[in-house]
Amino acid sequence: MRNSSTLSMVAEIQMGQSPPGHTYNEDGHGLPFFQGVRDFNYRFPTSRVYCTAPSRIADRGDILLSIRAPIGRVNVASEKAGGLYLAMLSDPILNRSDYLGQRTLADGKSPRFSQPTMT
């Protein structure tokens, strides 16, 4: 039988959240604010929108997991940033998020977490 664990057993999970609309801008003021797969590239997201008051923040190296269609795509935060339509995964104690990101992206395919199968 295969060993398994829940995501919360290997990472700290933080859900993105929408700050007030007037805090968004495209002028580079504040932190980059990733809005799900719209900003995703192969490995790292593109800074397109910024936010002066993000309520949830991912650190550099955290895994960004899409939670809105298409669900399951991942990128790795290349800098401190806020987010919406994302789960931000990290392990500040053991710093395994870099390892998790490397393993997820290592196969050269579009990175995704798969949904569990029922047996």
Q: Which residue has the higher pLDDT, 18 or 117?
A: 18
Tell me what pLDDT residue 5 has: 74
Output phi, psi for 20, to 5 deg.
-55, 140
Mean pLDDT of all residues belonging to the chain: 81
CA dist 62 and 17 (Å) reads 16
Report the first-to-last Cα separation within the chain, whole angstroms: 12
d(CA 84, CA 39): 11
Q: What is the pLDDT of residues 56-109, one digit of tens each?
A: 999 998 999 999 988 989 999 999 999 999 999 987 655 555 555 555 544 444
Instruction: Please state whether the predicted TM-score (pTM) of the whole model is above 0.75.
Output: yes
Please indicate whether residue 16 or residue 6 has the higher confidence score (pLDDT).
16
Structural domains in the chain plus CATH codes: 10-105 (3.90.220.20)
33 forms bridges with which residues in the sheet?
82
What mean pLDDT do residues 27-31 have? 98
pLDDT of residue 3: 72
